[in-house]
């Protein structure tokens, strides 16, 4: 202990504690230390320290000035009376209380009318009739935490040595308790921050103990698996766990695919299991496999015919009459056109895949554009008839004529393919306040309501059933959607009234200036 003061202080009056009270103070101090060192928040610990100081040295007011950077943050307790609250008090670099705390600690007794501005400002506001007091620096592990101050209303009151010793000891224990409370608060903040991150992540996260039982299960884990927290904690997770550092794909009973990655927790037997929904990726992978198989078939079929008939012409030209030669050449030409169509579709599909197609929008008269498209459109031989049902005029649309041509070509090809019995394919122009567009309606096999959105996905070829028997690459309607979106438009598919399918394309309507 050290006793330092910038002001002379002379004991004037005996303390109210009875003789021999030092032992009692020490016993009370042990009780207080146990109380302030309990797991509590910093504000609670500071209140307990002030209340203990008030009781141990029989003071009328106590306060803790917590040093927080450039400010003191006071906690004040007055015997049997409420006290005002302060946010902070400025730190004065030349204030002797500040120096006492920062320069290594100690204690000092003082008269209130001759004390540091920091202490005087708070004391005078809390207890204007204050007389004398003591201040003890609070430090721990080389860190300055603040100052513990006690004040007496009686200007003649001076503490006895036992009270001084107890106050200094309380200040020492207070430093430890405050450090513990701050560390605990920091740990709690870290845990809360970690909890927020874990709960906010889109990935499922689980912590397993050494026996593989769930300790923690975040919100995304519930969403991905459908298993509530209270049904999984203390039990194995509802999926196999991969070896640490390895990735495992697993399909849940719901059909959802999970990618599971397991990591070890350092210096622990616990495991952290991270898992995410990869159903879309699995579906795309399956669709790509189907596309490759279908593309091979779509390419091989015309190539086989071309090779066969061209070989016949090459090796048996002299044996064939003109009709036979003509028939072989027609087959080669037809299959070559089919092959070119497949190649074109693959090229266009790869061009627009994963990005906006390049378009140059301008003001379009869809009535004129559709008429020009159909005038140059050649349908494959069959029982199909294209009917253009348009008004004499329609509002201008904002679009790219080349993109519209490709859209119509793909939709007509689709309509013919899925109308094996022939029938009319009707194209109508429509408009509303926002869009100008057209519909393509066939009289074919129709569309399953569950496929209305999915038919526009890359490589998608419809559910098993009638639509699958017509082949195709699963690119046509994907190309349509990408081209329509690039023009700022909309496209949808729906069952037509009666039978067949109706494709509806809308382009932005040009607003007159």
DSSP 369-423: HHHHHHHT--PPSSSEEEEEE--S----EEE-HHHHHHHHHHHHHHHHHT-TT-E
Q: Which residues contact 35 (CB under 8 A, 6 or more apart)?
A: 48, 52
Boundary-marking domain end, from 277, 299, 330? 277
For residue 375, pLDDT over 90 is answered with: no
The domain spanning residue 337 has which CATH number? 1.10.287.130
410 and 371, same structural domain? Answer: yes
Q: Taking residues 432-449, what's their average pLDDT?
A: 90
For residue 466, pLDDT over 50 is answered with: no
CA pair distance 80, 59, nearest whole angstrom: 12
Question: Which residue in this structure is represented by tokens 């198989």?
Answer: 293
For residue 94, pLDDT over 80 is answered with: no
CA pair distance 152, 166, nearest whole angstrom: 16
Q: Which of 417, 401, 426 is nearest to 483 (CA)?
A: 401
Q: Which residues contact 473 (CB under 8 A, 6 or more apart)?
A: 291, 294, 295, 298, 342, 345, 346, 349, 459, 461
35 and 83, same structural domain? Answer: yes
For residue 237, pLDDT over 80 is answered with: yes
Q: Which of 73, 54, 68, 17 is nearest to 133 (CA)?
A: 54
pLDDT at residue 117, as a whole number: 74
- The pLDDT confidence band at residue 217, using thresholds 50, 70 and 90, is very high
287 and 263, same structural domain? Answer: no
In the chain, the percentage of residues whose pLDDT exceeds 90 is 19
Judge whether 3 lies within some domain: no
pLDDT at residue 226, as a whole number: 92
466 and 377, same structural domain? Answer: yes
CA pair distance 222, 322, nearest whole angstrom: 74
Q: What is the pLDDT of residues 137-161, one digit of tens each?
A: 888 777 888 888 888 888 778 778 8
Boundary-marking domain end, from 250, 277, 304? 277
Q: What is the pLDDT of residues 395-431, one digit of tens each?
A: 999 999 988 988 998 898 888 888 877 788 999 999 9
Q: Report whether 145 contacts 52 (CB < 8 A).
A: no
297 and 233, same structural domain? Answer: no
Judge whether 13 lies within some domain: no
338 and 400, same structural domain? Answer: no
pLDDT at residue 5, as a whole number: 36
Q: Is the pLDDT higher at 262 or at 473?
A: 262
In terms of C-beta distances under 8 Å and separation of at least 24 residues, what long-range contacts does 288-295 make, across chains too? 288/459, 290/459, 290/461, 290/474, 291/459, 291/473, 291/474, 294/461, 294/471, 294/472, 294/473, 294/474, 295/342, 295/346, 295/473
* E strands, 234-383, in order: 247-251, 257-264, 271-277, 362-364
Token pair for 506: 């809308």
Judge whether 270 lies within some domain: yes
CA pair distance 477, 455, nearest whole angstrom: 7
Q: Which residues contact 1 (CB under 8 A, 6 or more apart)?
A: 106, 107, 164, 165, 168
Q: Is the pLDDT higher at 378 or at 297?
A: 378
For residue 169, pLDDT over 50 is answered with: yes
Range of the structural domain that residue 263 is part of: 202-277
* C-alpha distances in Å from residue 246, one per residue of 123, 257, 264, 392, 473: 65, 16, 11, 66, 35
Q: What are the phi and psi torsion angles at 505 (to 5°)?
A: -115, 130
Q: Taking residues 109-128, what's their average pLDDT?
A: 74
Boundary-marking domain end, from 237, 254, 277? 277
Q: What is the pLDDT of residues 296-305, one digit of tens each?
A: 656 666 777 7
Token pair for 354: 């994963």
SS3 content of the chain, % helix, strand, coil (to 5): 45, 25, 35
Measured at the alpha carbon of residue 217, what is the angle toward residues 212 and 220, in degrees to the nearest 5? 130
Q: Are strands 204-208 and 257-264 parallel, antiparallel or unpaired?
A: unpaired
Judge whether 272 lies within some domain: yes
Q: Taking residues 66-91, what's their average pLDDT?
A: 72
Q: Which residues contact 182 (CB under 8 A, 6 or more apart)?
A: 42
449 and 380, same structural domain? Answer: yes
Compute the radius of gyration of the chain from its Cα atoms: 43
Q: Which of 95-99, 257-261, 343-347 has the lowest mean pLDDT?
A: 343-347
Total count of domains within the chain = 4
Q: Which residues contact 428 (CB under 8 A, 6 or more apart)?
A: 389, 390, 438, 439, 441
Q: What is the pLDDT of residues 467-495, one digit of tens each?
A: 444 455 567 788 888 889 989 999 999 88
Q: Report whether 64 contacts 147 (CB < 8 A).
A: yes
Judge whether 8 lies within some domain: no
- The pLDDT confidence band at residue 363, using thresholds 50, 70 and 90, is very high
Q: Is the pLDDT higher at 226 or at 318?
A: 226
For residue 261, pLDDT over 80 is answered with: yes
Bridge partners for 204 per DSSP: 275
Torsion of CA 394, 400, 403, 404, to 10 degrees: 10
Judge whether 197 lies within some domain: no
In the chain, the percentage of residues whose pLDDT exceeds 70 is 75
Answer left, alpha or beta for residue 216, where phi above 0 means left and psi between -120 and 50 means alpha: beta
pLDDT at residue 468, as a whole number: 46
């Amino acid at each position: 202990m050290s006793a330092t003061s910038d002001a002379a202080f002379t004991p004037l009056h005996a303390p109210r504690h009875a003789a021999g009270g030092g032992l009692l103070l020490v016993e009370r101090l042990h009780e207080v230390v146990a109380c302030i060192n309990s797991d509590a928040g910093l504000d609670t610990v500071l209140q307990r320290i002030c209340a203990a100081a008030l009781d141990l040295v029989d003071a009328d007011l106590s306060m803790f000035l917590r040093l927080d950077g450039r400010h003191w943050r006071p906690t004040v307790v007055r015997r049997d009376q409420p006290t005002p609250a302060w946010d902070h008090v400025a730190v004065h670099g030349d204030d002797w209380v500040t120096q006492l705390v920062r320069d290594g600690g100690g204690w000092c007794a003082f008269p209130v009318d001759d004390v540091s501005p920091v202490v005087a400002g708070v004391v005078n506001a809390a207890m204007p009739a204050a007389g004398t007091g003591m201040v003890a620096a609070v430090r721990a592990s080389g860190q300055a935490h603040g100052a513990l101050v006690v004040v007496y209303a009686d200007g003649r009151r001076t503490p006895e040595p036992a009270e001084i010793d107890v106050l200094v000891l309380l200040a020492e224990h207070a430093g430890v308790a405050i450090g513990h409370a701050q560390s605990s608060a920091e740990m709690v903040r870290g845990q809360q921050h970690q909890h927020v991150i874990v709960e906010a992540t889109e990935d499922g996260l689980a912590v397993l103990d050494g026996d593989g039982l769930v300790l923690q299960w975040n919100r995304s884990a519930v969403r991905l698996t459908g298993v509530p927290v209270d049904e999984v904690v203390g039990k194995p997770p509802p999926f196999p766990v991969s070896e640490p550092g390895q990735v495992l794909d697993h399909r849940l009973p719901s059909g959802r695919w999970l990618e599971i990655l397991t990591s070890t927790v350092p210096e622990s037997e616990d495991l952290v299991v991270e898992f995410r929904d990869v159903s879309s990726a699995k579906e795309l992978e399956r669709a790509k496999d189907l596309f490759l198989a279908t593309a091979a078939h779509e390419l091989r079929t015309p190539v086989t015919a071309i090779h066969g008939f061209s070989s016949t012409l090459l090796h048996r030209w002299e044996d064939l009459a003109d009709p036979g030669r003509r028939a072989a050449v027609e087959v080669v030409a037809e299959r070559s056109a089919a092959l070119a169509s497949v190649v074109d579709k693959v090229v266009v599909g790869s061009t627009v895949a994963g990005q906006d197609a390049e378009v140059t929008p301008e003001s379009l008269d869809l009535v004129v554009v559709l008429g020009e498209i159909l005038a140059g459109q050649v349908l494959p031989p069959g029982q199909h008839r294209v009917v253009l049902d348009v008004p004499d005029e329609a509002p201008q649309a904002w679009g790219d004529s080349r993109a519209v041509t490709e859209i119509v070509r793909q939709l007509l090809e689709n309509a013919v393919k899925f109308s094996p019995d022939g029938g009319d394919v009707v194209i109508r122009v429509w408009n509303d306040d926002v869009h100008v567009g057209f519909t393509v309606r066939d009289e074919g096999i129709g569309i399953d309501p569950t496929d209305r959105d999915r038919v526009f996905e890359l490589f998608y070829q419809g559910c098993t059933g009638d639509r699958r028997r017509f082949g195709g690459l699963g690119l046509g309607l994907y190309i349509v959607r990408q081209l329509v979106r690039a023009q700022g438009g909309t496209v949808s598919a729906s069952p037509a009234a009666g039978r067949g399918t109706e494709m509806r394309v809308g382009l932005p309507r040009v607003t007159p200036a």
